[in-house]
Amino acid sequence: MRQNKSLRLHVPEPTGRPGHATDFSYLRLEPAGQARKPPLDTSVADSADLAYSLIRVLDEHGKAVGAWAEPDLDPELLRKGLRVMIKTRIYDARMLIAQRQKKMSFYMQSLGEEAIGTAQAMVLQKGDMCFPSYRQQNLLIAQDVPLVDMMCQLFSNDMDHLRGRQLPVMYSMPEYGFFTISGNLATQFVQAVGWAMASAIKGDTKISSAWIGDGATAAADFQTALTFAHVYQAPVILNVINNQWAISSFQAIAGGESTTFAARGTGTGIVSLRADGNDFLAVHAVSKWAAERARNNLGPTLIEWVSYRAGPHSTSDDPSKYRPADDWSRFPLGDPIERLKQHLILRGEWSEEQHQQAQKEIEAEVIAAQKKAESHGTLANGRTSSVSTMFEDVYKDMPWHLRRQRQQAGV
Amino acid sequence: MSQQKKANTHPMTMIQALRSAMDVMLENDENVVIFGQDVGYFGGVFRCTEGLQAKYGKHRVFDAPISEGGIVGAAVGMGAYGLRPVVEIQFADYFYPATDQIVSEAARLRYRSAGDFTAPLTIRMPCGGGIYGGQTHSQSPEALFTHVTGLRTVMPSNPYDAKGLLIAAIECDDPVIFLEPKRLYNGPFDGHHDQPVVPWSKHPLGNVPDGHYAIPLESASVFRPGKDLTVITYGTMVFVAEVAARETGIDAEIIDLRSLWPLDIDTITASVRKTGRCVVLHEATLTSGFGAEITALVQEHCFYHLEAPIERVAGWDTPYPHAHEWAYFPSPERVGNAFKHVMDESPGRFDSGAAGAIAGGR
């Protein structure tokens, strides 16, 4: 057959670049309350539509509507969720400043994504294990982890229980069901599946929760995790946070153009949902549904959380070089804190005064924790763990060559 | 080999010995699980896991999708939970898709979490050539593992060691890369491919105890004592070195490293300080191969005892060929020539360095 036209390589582009507003119509949004709630034992085929839809509970007035609204949800839980989100945001802001002051080398905020980990942490149980990426600090904050412990890791100081070995934000807290964070993207996604398989092998009741960003879904371990989760029906929640950006790359470059990340799950045979990641109530309801499926041996669930990375990728990043400066203000799903606040006020369970008071209290709490953490040292003043610890934990017992090198290092 | 244990031993091939090790560990430790491609119902393409699923059930021994990264990644997660996974990569040539999980995760888990999480995995991989396996069924990638901090790399050369080392590897709390020379699965092989294969049942090291025993990691064995020179080797090349010693009449002391890294430095230095000469021998390609590390260690630890430059005999720096198998595989003749060369060499000879580099080819 004769070729008439030259072939052309398609390279996806975001609609918005610096100086040009983003057209968010690609998001496939649905009004709140529209998406149905399938039975826990739904089949992939029967729920496939939900992978292309959007589960939302809070409408534009802050009212909880539709099948996913949980009428008996304790307002105390919601107030707790709101406080955790506020705390996460304030923590991030303070740590960003501390990084600028060179008290640590690096930091990553989770601005705009606070609802997802916070609400899911509230449906998980003691003993479950999260396999987070580097932007789920709210999983820890939601469990009231002492902020001092988190900050000591950031400062790599002499109280850092990781002994200054890891970059800031690469926390490891098994006692809070928080797996050690790796710099290598997506690796934890399949490990979470393995952990869940182990729980099933042992006849345990624990489940795992895997976390990945939109960009990292392009890594091989993402598809591998889906395949293994499906094949062995592992009790795992597979969370994809689609914050639209992987550093400077728009989610279309990760394979999001004309499709959804939830659809990947469906294609692999996993019941998959797509939900509003900035809607605390939706995150809570959908996470609870997925956790119940896992606990009832009904298999894995993949959830694409649609959100927006409001802040820079990291302290080493300047988003104004690749996207509009005011992008977040036009993102249709808004700010998770504002939306939950509006909902609670609408129900008479919260007020502007309480909100301001909570912010003040939390700010004071974070500052006090920071002061305490800094009293144990920061990278700036070099109060770190002993250099000799650098040679420990490579193996369970130190082999001869490391003992020798430790001696050569003079420590 | 102690003859006292004879009542409790059986002739086994390396395949049977490895299977026996896994059987023992499945029995002894309920956290041991085994999975990989075709290892479950079918019992493995090399029969190493035959019968184990029937005996222990699908929850302990099971088939896995064709995804090396998935197999190792899932095993890392299982290890974090508290299991002790023993996983199989069908051929060492196919571990590459699992590299990120091995190097970035399994090897680093204990270090980066300061001991919060560990990866007590054993990753079994049939390796090595001499079987007309061509490019992707013959490789010896050990140097890619010995370079990784946090990994232990082990390779047995006979059924007795295979079982004892595999049990030690499974019991070890560090991640272990367990390389199995498939050329030795059914019998020892000395490189004389034109001669009939002798089965393990005719070799003393094919006599294997039934129950539990472990050979400590980081312990080399003096496979053949000798006084003329020291051969530092492992896997199939142990037998090639042995036949080369016989054929040249050179009284070579053959050290079978067994644990490649971390290794048993004391056995190496004691031997080289005694003989004053050293040949390093492996199937893997020469440049930046594990032999380079051994050579550097011997030079560093035994310099004043050396009577001649250290010689290396290795696979050529090419991908593993199919038709030219026996021109590639370090033959008894090449090894014997290296022995002779090391014995002839006198220190300070002007051409010793260049002569050493090409000696293996003559």
Q: Is B324 a catalytic residue?
A: no
CB contact under 8 A, A190 and B112: no
Mutation site, A201, A221, A238, A384, interface B, largest B CB count within 10 A: A201
Instruction: Classify residue A173 by its DSSP letter.
Output: B
* pLDDT of B279: 98
Q: Which residues of A touch B70 (CB under 8 A)?
A: 190, 221, 224-225, 227-228
Please report, as a single letter, which amino acid is at residue A361. Answer: E
Which of B59, B137, B192, B341 is catalytic? The answer is: B137
pLDDT band at A19 (very low <50, low <70, confident <90, very high): very high
Among residues B253, B272, B256, the alpha carbon closest in space to that of B220 is found at: B256
Q: Alpha-carbon distance A71 to A195, whole Å?
A: 33
Fold of the CATH domain B11-209: Rossmann fold (3.40.50)
Q: Alpha-carbon distance A175 to A55, whole Å?
A: 32
Among residues A246, A278, A275, the alpha carbon closest in space to that of A260 is found at: A275
Average pLDDT over residues A321-341: 98
**Locus of tokens 């079918």:** B42
| Angle, CA of B220, B221 and B226, to the nearest 5° | 125
Architecture field, domain A28-380: 3-Layer(aba) Sandwich (3.40)
Residue A52: CB atoms within 10 A of its CB come to: 15
DSSP β-bridge partners for residue A234? none
| Chain A residue with the nearest C-alpha to that of B65 | A228
CB contact under 8 A, B117 and A172: yes
Instruction: Classify residue B282 by its DSSP letter.
Output: E
Of A173, A180, A187, the CB nearest to B101: A187
Q: Where in chain B is the domain with CATH 3.40.50.920?
A: 221-345
* pLDDT of B7: 57
Q: Alpha-carbon distance B5 to B209, whole Å?
A: 7
Pairing mode of beta strands B229-233, B259-261: unpaired
* pLDDT of A4: 85
Average pLDDT over residues A106-112: 98
Torsion of CA B322, B323, B326, B327, to 10 degrees: -100
pLDDT value at A345 more than 80: yes
pLDDT value at A1 more than 80: no
A395 to chain B nearest CA, in Å?
A: 6
Of A165, A183, A191, the CB nearest to B77: A191
* pLDDT of A3: 73
Helix (H) / strand (E) element for A130: namely strand A129-131
DSSP β-bridge partners for residue A212? A240
**Locus of tokens 């991989």:** B125
* pLDDT of A363: 98
**Locus of tokens 């001669």:** B195
Please indicate if any CB of chain A lies within 8 Å of the CB of B111.
yes
B63 to chain A nearest CA, in Å?
A: 10
3-state DSSP call for residue B358?
Answer: helix
Q: Report yes or no: A379 and A102 within 8 Å, Cβ to Cβ.
A: yes
Q: Alpha-carbon distance A358 to B23, whole Å?
A: 60
Q: Where in chain B is the domain with CATH 3.40.50.970?
A: 11-209
Tell me the pLDDT tens digit for each residue of A38-54.
999 999 999 999 999 99
Q: Where in chain A is the domain with CATH 3.40.50.970?
A: 28-380
For residue A368, give every residue at least 6 positions away whose Cβ sits within 8 Å of its Cβ, in sequence order, or none. Answer: none
* pLDDT of B361: 42
Average pLDDT over residues A135-150: 98
Q: Report yes or no: A315 and A297 within 8 Å, Cβ to Cβ.
A: no
Please indicate if any CB of chain B lies within 8 Å of the CB of A209.
no
Per-residue model confidence as pLDDT tens for chain B (362 residues): 444 444 599 999 999 999 999 999 999 999 999 999 999 999 999 999 999 999 999 999 999 999 999 999 999 999 999 999 999 999 999 999 999 999 999 999 999 999 999 999 999 999 999 999 999 999 999 999 999 999 999 999 999 999 999 999 999 999 999 999 999 999 999 999 999 989 999 999 999 999 999 999 999 999 999 999 999 999 999 999 999 999 999 999 999 999 999 999 999 999 999 999 999 999 999 999 999 999 999 999 999 999 999 999 999 999 999 999 999 999 999 999 999 999 996 554 555 444 444 444 43
B86 to chain A nearest CA, in Å?
A: 13
Please indicate if any CB of chain A lies within 8 Å of the CB of B262.
yes
Calculate helix-pair angle for A336-346, A280-295, nearest 10 degrees. 100
Q: What's the number of CA atoms in the CB half-sphere (13 Å) around residue B104?
A: 18
Q: Which residues of B touch A163 (CB under 8 A)?
A: 114
Architecture field, domain B221-345: 3-Layer(aba) Sandwich (3.40)
Q: How far is CA A261 from CA A148, A208, A304, in A?
A: 36, 20, 6
**Locus of tokens 């007590």:** B120
* pLDDT of A292: 98
Q: How far is CA B202 from CA A81, B198, B238, in A?
A: 71, 7, 17
Please indicate if any CB of chain A lies within 8 Å of the CB of B78.
yes
Counting one residue from chain A and one from chain B, the pairs whose CB atoms sit within 8 A come to 137
Phi and psi, residue A400, nearest 5°:
-55, -40
